Structure 1
């Protein structure tokens, strides 16, 4: 049962897991394996494992959920003309599964705070619902529902069995979600005019959804959603700046439950269509042994370096982050092995845990999954998935490289050594040649594959998919043959004496076939440009094929199948068992995400219904005094606060719904034109930082549970390690080159190299160590150098302003003289959506045209009106570039900024290089003879010099 209830990978050598962690627990106060299982289960998969038929029912329900999701994602319903459902119906069924499993698998927390919250929220909701009920409609049933829920909570929620009242909650909650599916046709005829039956179902559904949220995700999201529901009803009672007319229960029921504006909105739709399949794909990949493979490969390649286990922890967490949607699961998955080894080579419990936290949380910003946020961004930002991955890739990669460098600096400070390896590496030149040949081989294979696929599709038509599957199968069997020549991977005990690291070559070769499903996924997403859901389906289908066949084929290739049928059939049965376990595990991993996206839909629905987004923009502007940097800092802090205690998916939905429009609006008013994807990545980065920062940093608590260290200290150290992640959003807001926006390949490579160098220097400055321990002035200079490399235009713009200020009457002249494709910045005064006067900026891209008048017309500005020295926009064409930029009739043009020629901003790199040379020279003077750094006491004395 524990296998099916654990979110961490079930590695080939299960005995190692228990032994390693039990030994660590006896020595350093860490947790036993069963306690770690409970930790992950309580946060990700559900901590209740009842015996007998009830436990089996939970597993069967989870299995059915996975099969349902595979069915609706596949082409099969359209091929057979059966089971074709629209998005609203699938969302209804998806949430029904999540609610049923939440009440069955998650016992209610019995602490005084949780118990008080479980009672207070239904009481508050009952009062709000009765307050919002229109006169003439009976409301006596609302307190009865609330009292029934409170009674079920007070009766208790045991961990070992499911009492009758919990059965009732699970069934009623799932039926309230299925209501839209069961009564779909009749509901569609009365949108906006709910009947009493709609009221009852929606009230029950909202109350039980919030209770399921409390059980599966903790109190934070439940409290936030309840506050927004209260705000929806009590708008007239709010302070003037955030007050609104208030909404009736009829309006809330219609908005939040009956339509797709609230609970059944975009967030739950993304969970249904995309997220489930990616989580399932990760669970199956884990079950096949990929988690163990990633960890072993990372250790074989990096374990010999200074602080090698910590560097391997970073790399293995990055690879695990590709398939994991949970920071906590990532911490426990890789941390049970990496944290004890980090402690062995000299890291303290807190530092070992902090490295694991920083690297695991970074897994949430790593494409292609990004903790499911990538798919939400597709919907919210309105750009293709390929573009989301392209924009997010560079910052995530730079952040991981910088974390490896931070680990290296920590190892340098403590003079740590790597783990011994079992072979002598070849000379440097030979290693470089081998690397070059490998890179050339991969490039050649990639080109061959690309052009081969381009030939197969037109040649075979509709049968091309079977030809591609046959080729994949041939490659798969070939990689299994390579793996069969090596010994099976088995994790060693991290607390036993380490005599040698595994050999890189055999370790890498033993699991190359695990990369094939990832290749299929990336190919479908990035090359074929299939939808994320269909891409995940084909990758999952191939993963299922691997799970069913890898054991029997490996037995035959190793000649271990004996006379044949007995051992091969047993291996096949083991594969079927792994598949079923993976399907169950994937569904149980999705319980919290399904509940989170539905509850976050309440918040999104409240924002759209009340217009609180514009009110929040006013609040932020008042608090920041209109200063753009202050706005960003305030938004970052609010993102951290809102993200506390929320899973990655939910906190992105919340902070993007509330704060992304704030940055866009206030940025335009202050002359900063930020692409929407940059804003969404900004709030996403700070939302996930809440998993690190005390006092709520859940990932820090999970790492401390493994390491035996203090969780608050672990969180503080992890926060300092994560400063590089916190710095990146500010940088790509002001320098969108980091997101590869409108950047060609050559410029992109240049940006990657310079940005990586700048981030390494930033890490060195914040860690107080570069070539040796840094003095204060050296750290300050390194920060200045890093900033200047990131934003050379900041200083160059002071010397050579990139824009010329022109009077509004010169707009036509500026449009005529600007190069085609250039950008004119306009400052305008007009009215916002609610009729209040506002000033804002707008960008106009210069189109083709023989003169300024024609170019203006081509932008969509069809008429201007001049009154003395004032110029007004008199007419704007519908759906034109000008209208999309925010221009409208009767707006006054306050000024025009036209681009002027200026020297390249990269000339600034020359003085920056000289400053860096000064720091290098200063530090090399203090390094001892033979290149050795001074001892700790000497370093301490030098640092105070």
Structure 2
């Protein structure tokens, strides 16, 4: 009898877990669409943004407890532990209670200190434990250090000395203040980023992955190194809308990495190209993994200004990937993709036109009608949802189960984004509350007075270290608060400063020792993870140099006069091309060591910004002359060798 009772209990809880988790995911997505679409205002309902954000965050935490065990591993069919079920119920209850009581608590927080403290402690336990399971300890360590500073700020000396924050004030601030947990970071993540994830999930579910892979193959497959170029186009595109280099590697890499290996690329090189292309997607307009909208919101500038500033550096990044793939194919002797594996361009467009139309709508809504990003994303989603009722790429049409699955996947994707944004908001708020932003800013400004290049180099290292392991949204929000202000104070343009920290934050994905995107790609390619990481650095080398150039030269961000913009663009493009030849060691034939050095020196000399010091123009000219001379010599040598053989 006892055994039967145990079985019934086990069956009940198993079914409960299977139903409650997807239901929570659906509720999260509904809340996101409800707020992002402006329905409360349209319906005349008075709702605080914090009420919706707290509910989204709490339900996302509950999903985390129901899908990950104590060690952070996904359950994947395993039974949810009783303690995790309790935590999930606590998270749901906390979210509902705080969403209901928030107007009262926010107005009377100083008159209800005990209630506020209890709510704060419960909220911190839920959010921080869910964050630990979702992404590990990296962000928790940063938050812990900032909290310790806030508590003992009066014990420091010099510019870091400040007024200490009492423990109770610290705890209630983290959870209940609109500048912390439910602040601008979570607002952007929940109301701007998640609508784009909803759109991207529907795009993938209606055949988007196959369509853009086929389109890339049709466009690039016939050229030398076509398999790698297919990977660069496909992974770059999906990296831009996915918002996570790691998840993009895991999805598109399953197709592109075997294709590159079959084409003749070494496993570590195939993994490195995939990791670099997926990471670069976060830097490619118009979406930039949603960071374009974060930049516009943070700097309070029109979205189109962000796109115009980011487009040239992003194109340079992908130009270098194409040049690398092409030259590496020539060096190794890799042929184009077999003709029978290349789909027809016309046929691909005829079958998948409807997957391009939402992007046209997105751009028109953003640029022509100046719609908010979240509204534009929902318009694109609605169009694709309507069209997919009648057609899908590859045949068939969408059914109601597909839409439910897309909504559920979006809710599940909210877990990391909501938790990271909430804790990033806590850190950002504490920087202001404790005065740490002023102290660190003063220290970095003093460093910059010694040498702007030294400040930029220090900031780059800090960005790579702090960015390790975090998705695009979390990386940018943290670095925009910590690293960008000192650069701006020293005279670097705000747009350049924010793009600088974004670039180096994203490069943490492929920079050893914690190059997560490269490690995932290396594992999929059957290569050593660390070797893949170093190869990815080699493949994506311009991303470590170009930010220094646009930090000093506004022309590369289209912020100067047309002559300055043109000269900066042409000089950097030529420099990237020449230096990549030297890096790969191949042009029209294999190069000797001195030839490689000559190409590399010519490229780097051509890239130097004229604002660096007096006389840089002469170095640029010398680089141009040396580069053209090397290209001419190589072409002439190959021509003579060919004539001699004839």
Q: 1:590 to 1:762 in 2, by over 3 A?
A: farther
Corresponding residue number in structure 1 for 2:28: 65
Does residue 74 of structure 1 match 2:37?
yes
Q: Structure 1: how far apart are the matches of 2:406 and 2:96? A: 26
Q: Structure 1: how far apart are the matches of 2:644 and 2:564? A: 37
Q: 1:657 aligns with which of 467, 471, 481?
A: 481
Q: Structure 2: how far apart are the matches of 1:248 and 1:911? A: 61
- Of the two structures, which has the highest relative contact order with CA contacts closer than 8 Å and spacing of 6 or more? 2
Corresponding residue number in structure 2 for 1:724: 542
Which stretch shifts more, 194-203 or 921-930?
921-930
Q: Structure 2: how far apart are the matches of 1:726 and 1:910? A: 23
Q: 2:630 aligns with which of 903, 919, 922?
A: 919
Q: Structure 1: how far apart are the matches of 2:300 and 2:88? A: 36
Quote the offset at 1:648 in angstroms. 1.8
Q: 1:615 aligns with which of 439, 444, 456?
A: 439
Q: 1:335 to 1:932 in 2, by over 3 A?
A: farther
Do the aligned partners of 2:189 and 2:473 also contact (CA within 8 Å) in 1?
no
Corresponding residue number in structure 2 for 1:104: 66
Q: Structure 2: how far apart are the matches of 1:294 and 1:933? A: 45
Quote the offset at 1:185 in angstroms. 2.8
Quote the offset at 1:294 in angstroms. 0.5
Corresponding residue number in structure 2 for 1:201: 119
Q: Structure 2: how far apart are the matches of 1:932 and 1:307? A: 27
Quote the offset at 1:417 in angstroms. 0.9
Corresponding residue number in structure 2 for 1:510: 351
Give deviations 1:416-447, integer Å, cap 9, x for gaps. Answer: 111221xxxxxxxxxxxxxxxxxxxxxxxxxx
Which stretch shifts more, 52-61 or 777-786?
777-786
Does residue 759 of structure 1 match 2:583?
no
Give deviations 1:832-869, integer Å, cap 9, x for gaps. Answer: xxxxxxxxxxxxxxxxxxxxxxxxxxxxxxxxxxxxxx
Q: 1:601 aligns with which of 406, 425, 434?
A: 425
Q: 1:675 to 1:513 in 2, by over 3 A?
A: same
Does residue 166 of structure 1 match 2:128?
no
Quote the offset at 1:772 in angstroms. 3.4
Quote the offset at 1:78 in angstroms. 3.8
Name the SS for the 1:741 alignment partner.
Answer: coil
Corresponding residue number in structure 2 for 1:562: none
Corresponding residue number in structure 2 for 1:472: none
Which stretch shifts more, 64-73 or 778-787?
778-787
Q: Structure 2: how far apart are the matches of 1:789 and 1:509? A: 44
Q: 1:413 to 1:932 in 2, by over 3 A?
A: farther
Q: Structure 1: how far apart are the matches of 2:599 and 2:488? A: 31
Superposition pairs for residues 313-352 of structure 1, below 5 Å?
Answer: 313-352=231-270
Quote the offset at 1:158 in angstroms. 9.3
Do the aligned partners of 1:306 and 1:411 also contact (CA within 8 Å) in 2?
yes
Q: Structure 2: how far apart are the matches of 1:911 and 1:718? A: 30
Quote the offset at 1:504 in angstroms. 2.4
Quote the offset at 1:396 in angstroms. 0.9
Quote the offset at 1:792 in angstroms. 5.7
Q: Structure 2: how far apart are the matches of 1:532 and 1:774? A: 48
Q: 1:66 to 1:157 in 2, by over 3 A?
A: closer
Gaps of 5+ in 2: 1-12
Do the aligned partners of 1:284 and 1:586 also contact (CA within 8 Å) in 2?
no
Quote the offset at 1:352 in angstroms. 0.7
Q: 1:382 to 1:795 in 2, by over 3 A?
A: closer
Do the aligned partners of 2:578 and 2:627 also contact (CA within 8 Å) in 1?
no
Do the aligned partners of 1:194 and 1:253 also contact (CA within 8 Å) in 2?
no
Do the aligned partners of 2:496 and 2:554 also contact (CA within 8 Å) in 1?
yes
Q: Structure 1: how far apart are the matches of 2:92 and 2:641? A: 71
Do the aligned partners of 2:552 and 2:609 also contact (CA within 8 Å) in 1?
no
Q: Structure 2: how far apart are the matches of 1:578 and 1:406? A: 39
Superposition pairs for residues 596-745 of structure 1, below 5 Å?
Answer: 596-620=420-444, 626-665=450-489, 667=490, 673-743=491-561
Quote the offset at 1:237 in angstroms. 3.6
Q: 1:579 aligns with which of 399, 403, 409?
A: 403
Q: Structure 2: how far apart are the matches of 1:928 and 1:197? A: 83
Larger helix proportion of the pair: 2
Do the aligned partners of 2:602 and 2:622 also contact (CA within 8 Å) in 1?
no
Q: 1:774 to 1:193 in 2, by over 3 A?
A: farther
Q: Structure 2: how far apart are the matches of 1:186 and 1:79? A: 24
Corresponding residue number in structure 1 for 2:302: 384
Quote the offset at 1:926 in angstroms. 4.3
Q: 1:275 to 1:238 in 2, by over 3 A?
A: same
Do the aligned partners of 1:624 and 1:634 also contact (CA within 8 Å) in 2?
no
Q: Structure 1: how far apart are the matches of 2:608 and 2:566? A: 16
Q: 2:201 aligns with which of 264, 283, 286?
A: 283
Q: TM-score scaled to structure 1, two decimals?
A: 0.63
Give deviations 1:895-917, integer Å, cap 9, x for gaps. Answer: xxxxxxxxxx6x98765543222
Gaps of 5+ in 1: 1-49, 112-155, 422-498, 556-570, 668-672, 800-904, 935-945
Do the aligned partners of 1:193 and 1:250 also contact (CA within 8 Å) in 2?
no
Q: Structure 1: how far apart are the matches of 2:420 and 2:613? A: 46
Superposition pairs for residues 288-687 of structure 1, below 5 Å?
Answer: 288-421=206-339, 499-550=340-391, 574-620=398-444, 626-665=450-489, 667=490, 673-687=491-505
Do the aligned partners of 2:195 and 2:374 also contact (CA within 8 Å) in 1?
yes
Do the aligned partners of 2:216 and 2:234 also contact (CA within 8 Å) in 1?
yes
Q: Structure 2: how far apart are the matches of 1:659 and 1:233? A: 22
Q: TM-score scaled to structure 2, two decimals?
A: 0.91
Q: Structure 2: how far apart are the matches of 1:685 and 1:256? A: 29
Do the aligned partners of 2:559 and 2:565 also contact (CA within 8 Å) in 1?
no
Task: Report the count of equivalent residues.
Answer: 633
Q: Structure 2: how far apart are the matches of 1:748 and 1:637? A: 28
Do the aligned partners of 1:406 and 1:767 also contact (CA within 8 Å) in 2?
yes
Q: 1:405 to 1:186 in 2, by over 3 A?
A: same
Q: Structure 2: how far apart are the matches of 1:269 and 1:218? A: 23
Quote the offset at 1:324 in angstroms. 1.0
Quote the offset at 1:737 in angstroms. 1.1
Q: CA RMSD in A?
A: 2.8
